[in-house]
């Protein structure tokens, strides 16, 4: 009978001399392990981004429904329908006035939002302004390269919207008693079909101003390029009443 | 107990601060007088910290005034944390600072206001980073600083984003005057460096009314604006090499001459102070005007390292490693001596070889001199209005020869027989070369070959580099001239046209002429100067 084979004993090497591979030259930094502190900024930024993501998704859904071919025509019924769709999506989101401003700038960033279609974008922003909790909304848009159309659509009584910068076409159309201030210029068809409320354009305004307006007041700090066919209401140019007033031919340069 | 001097405290605290920030390469801070934004010596509490060329200086008057409110040790540690974070996080380098400034300027439309806004933004980012990542006394410092209107707004912001009570007006029960501003500011992702350009625009948009109000108050009161107690951030914070690298990166990134010019003009005083704009040119040293356009091409060309084929030259020694010097960010990595650097790339440890030219016997590879002919006729882009690929290409070529210690001559031509030309003899003077390269005549295109002959005659080892769109009236004469000479010729034409095709066909059999087309800026690095088809065969056969 063979004697049992003695078991192999491990080599007697001090533990520190075990071959451990290359030595980590930064080992001494291990003592400086700092636990990452959470500060309120992290939470604020995260929640801002989540809200922006919801707003962005709502806008994309609006485009999917109302501008399938990425073409959108400004007509009475298309405006009404697109606004209703926009309002439906907006009502599902919890947001603040600052989120609206961020969304305006995100529209110019093609990496964030691939398509900026001025009509639906303006209606969507109007829906945001009409549904936000704050009653006074200030949008600092003077650095925006694009002038957004249809801002202030159906702005309701008790709400005040201040645009710092220029506004595009159809600003303040269908105003429903709100107070709209544009600190720059506004283009054509401003205040068209407005029923009540006040629009103040601090600089110049384009053609067809107040077309089919039914009531309310438009104040222009600069020049009015042309008035539309006004039904009722008042238009002031540099504190001077120009409608109703002496003969002013609609849509004529003067 | 005996009161310790601020110097002793700094010496005690500095190793701890360095360790906390992972050993940044920054000299030991000093205690001494500092200057305010207007360059006047700061008296009293105003500015606590000044950074000039990486040297942090703490104002002893500031420490004395703060003493009753905060321990000197804590004040010093907070100031050092703040200062070091400018190097380890924001702005990190001069290029980032310039990028942030240019974004702020777009919103503020005023250079002084843009500088102030940039400084405040950098401070918010740095301090927030420090509060989040390190154990720091910065909140204590902010709690005890005397605050103006802007300081008060920022304190409210810090309370909101750090979650620490700093005793601002909003926490003292009064509704902050600028609650809406603070609300906007608190939404900015300060710690996301990829979004800093967007963030600073938003920051500037939000604080612009405050700064304008402050400026108006200052004008009406005839007094001084609210100084930043943590010091202003400016060009002075950086070393020469950091500024150089920053300008290079900015030129490369923007690739836009007007933007670069605006930036250089905004910082002209500081850049002159740093040594740009020496007598008659654009190198280092104090002196006369700073030509932003020349500086743009100079810094842009430094980003492209065109390969240069050497030729056998008699009695010309090649460069050999001679001595060591410390490596800095931006130094050529190929010159690193890995043995004395312990295999690490780290400022302070890594060393590079300084090369010296030795005397050779017989034929040794060397770099000949170069004659650069650049077309500045009306069909070419005006280099002082827009980025000119022709001038950039010529500048890259000049840079390649100058780097190899060879002289360069320039022949800038438009309608040369009618006087539309500028000739610069062989020289090492970089700024003179760039000045002639950037000259624009904008007339017809004709070469006067009689001008070229004296520049070529008697020079056996000479390279020719011509850059043009080839719409030359006497193109046939030029082709004939190139047919007579045996020098290496690199011809670069901008864009495709029938004249360029004619030139290509005419010289295609000539072994000493290489033709390149530049359509985009990306084509420029493909130019290999002085590459000759038969070089490897003939060159080595003759040795």
- Closest chain B residue to A38, measured at CA: B132
pLDDT, mean of residues A218-230: 93
The per-residue pLDDT for A28 is: 65
| Residues in a beta bridge with A181 | A162, A200
Model confidence at B366, pLDDT cuts 50, 70, 90, reads: confident
Would you say residue A254 has pLDDT above 50?
no
Q: Is residue A84 part of a domain?
A: yes
Q: Are strands B30-31 and B49-52 parallel, antiparallel or unpaired?
A: unpaired
Chain A environment of B135 (Cβ under 8 Å)? 34
The CATH classification of domain B365-541, taken from the options 3.20.20.80, 3.40.50.2020, 3.40.50.720, 3.40.50.410: 3.40.50.410
Q: Is residue A194 part of a domain?
A: yes
Given an 8 Å threshold on Cβ–Cβ distance, is A41 in contact with B128? yes
Measured in angstroms, the CA of A182 and the nearest CA of chain B are apart by 17
pLDDT, mean of residues B404-415: 92
Chain A environment of B136 (Cβ under 8 Å)? none
Would you say residue A204 has pLDDT above 90?
yes
ipTM greater than cut 0.85: no
Of A41, A138, A143, the CB nearest to B161: A41
Q: Do A119 and A79 fall into the same domain?
A: yes
The per-residue pLDDT for B535 is: 47
Q: Do A144 and A94 fall into the same domain?
A: no
Distance CA B285, CA B282 (A): 9
Q: Do A214 and A192 fall into the same domain?
A: yes
Given an 8 Å threshold on Cβ–Cβ distance, is B191 in contact with A143? no
Q: Do A77 and A143 fall into the same domain?
A: no
Model confidence at A6, pLDDT cuts 50, 70, 90, reads: low
Structural domain ending residue among the three candidates A113, A134, A155: A134
Q: Is residue A154 part of a domain?
A: yes
The more confidently predicted of residues B503 and A113 is: B503
Q: Is B136 on the interface with A (CB under 8 A)?
A: no
The per-residue pLDDT for B182 is: 94
Q: Is residue A9 part of a domain?
A: no
Whether the CA torsion B161, B162, B168, B170 is positive or negative: it is: positive
pLDDT, mean of residues B492-511: 87
Kindly report, residue by residue over B271-292, the tens digit of the pLDDT.
887 777 644 444 444 445 678 8
Kindly report, residue by residue over B328-361, the tens digit of the pLDDT.
666 667 778 888 887 777 767 788 887 776 655 5
Q: Do A124 and A175 fall into the same domain?
A: no
- Closest chain B residue to A98, measured at CA: B184
The per-residue pLDDT for A129 is: 96
The more confidently predicted of residues B325 and A47 is: A47
Chain B environment of A139 (Cβ under 8 Å)? none
Given an 8 Å threshold on Cβ–Cβ distance, is B187 in contact with A98? yes
pLDDT, mean of residues A174-179: 96
- Write out residues 102-121 of B within 8 Å (CB-CB) of A: 106-107
Q: Is B205 on the interface with A (CB under 8 A)?
A: yes
pLDDT, mean of residues A40-68: 92
Would you say residue A68 has pLDDT above 90?
no
pLDDT, mean of residues B519-533: 73
- Mutation site, B186, B187, B199, B349, interface A, largest A CB count within 10 A: B187
Q: Is residue A12 part of a domain?
A: no
Provide the mean pLDDT of chain B. Answer: 84
The more confidently predicted of residues B380 and B535 is: B380
Q: Do A163 and A93 fall into the same domain?
A: no
Kindly report, residue by residue over B291-334, the tens digit of the pLDDT.
889 999 998 888 887 888 877 776 555 667 778 887 766 666 77
- Mutation site, A41, A44, A46, interface B, largest B CB count within 10 A: A41
Residues of A with CB under 8 A from a CB of B: 29, 32, 34, 36-37, 39-41, 44-45, 48, 96, 98, 101-102, 105, 138, 140, 142-143
The per-residue pLDDT for B457 is: 84
The more confidently predicted of residues B490 and B273 is: B490
Would you say residue B537 has pLDDT above 70?
no
Which candidate, B312, B303, B308, places its Cα nearest to that of B528? B308
Structural domain ending residue among the three candidates A102, A134, A166: A134
Measured in angstroms, the CA of B198 and the nearest CA of chain A are apart by 10
Contact predicate B203/B209, CB 8 Å = no
What three-state secondary structure class fits B40? coil
Chain A environment of B188 (Cβ under 8 Å)? 45
Q: Which residues form the domain of A115?
A: 44-134
Measured in angstroms, the CA of A164 and the nearest CA of chain B are apart by 11
Structural domain ending residue among the three candidates A105, A134, A163: A134
**Element (DSSP H or E) covering residue B37:** none
The per-residue pLDDT for B286 is: 45
Of B20, B187, B205, the CB nearest to A44: B187
Percentage of chain B beyond pLDDT 90 is 39
Contact predicate B242/B271, CB 8 Å = no
Kindly report, residue by residue over B150-199, the tens digit of the pLDDT.
999 999 999 999 999 998 876 554 555 678 899 999 999 999 999 999 99
Q: Do A145 and A245 fall into the same domain?
A: yes
Q: Do A140 and A124 fall into the same domain?
A: no
Q: Do A149 and A86 fall into the same domain?
A: no
Measured in angstroms, the CA of B107 and the nearest CA of chain A are apart by 7
Q: Is B356 on the interface with A (CB under 8 A)?
A: no
Measured in angstroms, the CA of B161 and the nearest CA of chain A are apart by 4
Which range has highest mean pLDDT (A143-152, B75-84, B380-389, B471-480)?
B75-84
What three-state secondary structure class fits B227? coil
Please give the full DSSP string across B233-289, using - where no structure is assigned.
--GGGS-HHHHHHHHHHHHHHH--HHHHHHHHHHTHHHHHHHTBS-TTSSSBSS-S-
Would you say residue A192 has pLDDT above 60?
yes
Given an 8 Å threshold on Cβ–Cβ distance, is A40 in contact with B183? no
For the beta carbon of residue B167, count every other beta carbon within 10 angstroms: 13
The more confidently predicted of residues B241 and B143 is: B143
Q: Do A122 and A91 fall into the same domain?
A: yes
What three-state secondary structure class fits B404? coil
Model confidence at B532, pLDDT cuts 50, 70, 90, reads: low
- Closest chain A residue to B209, measured at CA: A140
Dihedral-angle region of residue A170 (phi above 0 means left; psi in -120 to 50 means alpha; beta otherwise): left
Q: Is residue A15 part of a domain?
A: no
The more confidently predicted of residues A136 and B532 is: A136
pLDDT, mean of residues B87-100: 93
The per-residue pLDDT for B315 is: 53
- Closest chain A residue to B20, measured at CA: A32
Domain count, chain A: 2
Of A45, A140, A143, the CB nearest to B106: A143
Would you say residue B32 has pLDDT above 50?
yes
The per-residue pLDDT for B427 is: 93
Q: Do A140 and A125 fall into the same domain?
A: no
- Measured in degrees and rounded to the nearest 5, phi and psi for residue A102 equal -60, -40
3-state helix vs strand vs coil in chain B, percent to 5: 45, 15, 40
Q: Do A125 and A233 fall into the same domain?
A: no
pLDDT, mean of residues B78-107: 94
- Closest chain B residue to A32, measured at CA: B20
Would you say residue A233 has pLDDT above 70?
yes
Q: Is B349 on the interface with A (CB under 8 A)?
A: no
DSSP B164: -
The per-residue pLDDT for B281 is: 43
Q: Is residue A10 part of a domain?
A: no
Model confidence at B148, pLDDT cuts 50, 70, 90, reads: confident
Model confidence at A128, pLDDT cuts 50, 70, 90, reads: very high
The per-residue pLDDT for B58 is: 93
Please report, for chain B, the start and end positions of each structural domain, with discontinuous segments joined by +. 6-235, 239-301, 319-357, 365-541
Kindly report, residue by residue over B418-457, the tens digit of the pLDDT.
889 999 999 999 889 999 999 999 989 998 888 888 898 8
Of A41, A98, A105, the CB nearest to B184: A98
């Amino acid at each position: 009978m063979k004697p049992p084979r003695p078991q192999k004993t491990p080599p007697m090497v001090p533990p520190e001399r075990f071959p451990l591979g290359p030595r980590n030259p930064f080992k001494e930094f291990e003592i400086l392990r700092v636990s990452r502190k959470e500060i309120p900024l992290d939470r604020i930024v995260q929640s801002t981004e989540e809200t922006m993501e919801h707003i962005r998704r709502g806008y994309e859904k609006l485009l999917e429904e109302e501008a399938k071919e990425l073409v959108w025509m400004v007509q009475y019924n298309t405006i009404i329908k697109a606004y209703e769709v926009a309002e439906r999506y907006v009502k599902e989101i919890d947001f603040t006035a600052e989120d609206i401003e961020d969304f305006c700038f995100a529209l110019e960033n093609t990496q964030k939002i691939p398509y900026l279609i001025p009509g639906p974008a303006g209606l969507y922003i109007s829906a945001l302004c009409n549904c936000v909790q704050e009653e006074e909304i200030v949008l600092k848009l003077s650095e925006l390269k694009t002038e957004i159309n249809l801002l202030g659509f159906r702005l309701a009584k008790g709400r005040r919207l201040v645009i710092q910068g220029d506004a595009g076409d159809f600003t303040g159309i269908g105003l429903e008693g709100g107070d709209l201030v544009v600190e720059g210029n506004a283009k054509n068809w401003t205040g068209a079909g407005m029923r009540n409320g006040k629009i103040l354009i601090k600089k110049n305004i384009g053609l067809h101003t107040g077309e089919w307006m039914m009531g309310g007041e438009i104040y222009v700090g600069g020049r009015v390029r042309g008035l539309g066919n006004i039904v009722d209401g008042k238009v002031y140019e540099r504190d001077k009443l120009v409608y109703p007033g002496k003969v002013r031919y609609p849509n004529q340069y003067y | 107990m005996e009161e310790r001097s601020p110097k002793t405290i700094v010496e005690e605290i500095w190793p701890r601060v360095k360790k906390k920030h992972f050993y940044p390469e920054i000299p030991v801070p000093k205690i001494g007088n500092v200057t305010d934004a207007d360059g006047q010596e700061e008296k009293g509490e105003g500015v606590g910290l000044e950074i000039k060329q990486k040297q942090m200086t703490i104002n002893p008057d500031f420490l004395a005034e703060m003493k009753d409110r905060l321990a000197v040790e804590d004040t010093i540690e907070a100031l050092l944390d703040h200062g070091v974070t400018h190097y380890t996080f924001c702005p990190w380098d001069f290029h980032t600072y310039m990028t942030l400034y240019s974004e702020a300027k777009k919103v503020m439309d005023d250079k002084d206001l843009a500088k102030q806004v940039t400084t405040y933004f950098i401070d918010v980012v740095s301090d927030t980073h420090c509060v989040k990542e390190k154990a720091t006394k910065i909140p204590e410092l902010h709690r005890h600083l005397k605050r103006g209107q802007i300081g008060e707004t920022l304190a409210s912001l810090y309370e909101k984003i750090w979650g620490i009570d700093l005793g601002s007006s909003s926490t003292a029960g009064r509704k902050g005057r600028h609650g809406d501003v603070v609300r906007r500011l608190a939404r900015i992702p300060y710690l996301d460096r990829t979004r800093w350009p967007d963030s600073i625009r938003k920051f500037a948009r939000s604080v612009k009314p405050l700064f304008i109000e402050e400026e108006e108050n200052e004008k009406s009161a005839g007094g001084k604006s609210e100084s930043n107690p943590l010091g202003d951030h400016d060009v002075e914070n950086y070393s020469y090499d950091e500024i150089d690298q920053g300008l290079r990166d900015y030129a490369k990134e923007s690739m836009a001459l007007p933007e670069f010019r605006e930036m250089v003009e905004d910082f002209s005083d500081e850049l002159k102070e740093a040594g740009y704009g020496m007598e008659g040119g654009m190198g280092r040293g104090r002196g006369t005007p700073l030509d932003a356009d020349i500086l743009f091409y100079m810094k842009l060309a430094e980003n492209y390292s065109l390969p240069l084929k050497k030729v056998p030259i008699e009695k010309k020694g090649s460069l050999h490693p001679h001595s060591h010097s410390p490596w800095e960010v931006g130094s050529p990595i190929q010159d690193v001596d890995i043995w004395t650097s312990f295999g690490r790339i780290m400022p302070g440890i890594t060393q590079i070889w300084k090369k010296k030219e030795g005397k050779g016997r017989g034929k040794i590879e060397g770099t000949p001199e170069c004659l650069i002919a650049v077309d500045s006729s009306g069909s070419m882009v005006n280099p002082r209005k827009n980025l000119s690929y022709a001038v950039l290409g010529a500048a890259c070529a000049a840079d390649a020869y100058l780097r190899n210690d060879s002289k360069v001559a320039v022949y800038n031509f438009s309608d040369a027989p009618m006087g539309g030309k500028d000739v610069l003899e062989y020289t090492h003077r970089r700024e003179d070369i760039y000045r002639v390269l950037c000259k624009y005549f904008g007339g017809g295109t004709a070469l006067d070959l009689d001008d070229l002959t004296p520049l070529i005659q008697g020079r056996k080892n000479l390279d020719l580099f011509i850059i043009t769109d080839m719409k030359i009236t006497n193109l046939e004469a030029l082709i004939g001239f190139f047919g007579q000479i045996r020098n290496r010729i690199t011809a670069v034409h901008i864009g495709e046209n029938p004249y360029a095709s004619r030139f290509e066909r005419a010289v295609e059999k000539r072994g000493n002429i290489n033709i390149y087309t530049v359509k985009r800026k990306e084509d420029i690095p493909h130019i290999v100067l002085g590459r000759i088809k038969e070089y490897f065969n003939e060159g080595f056969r003759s040795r």
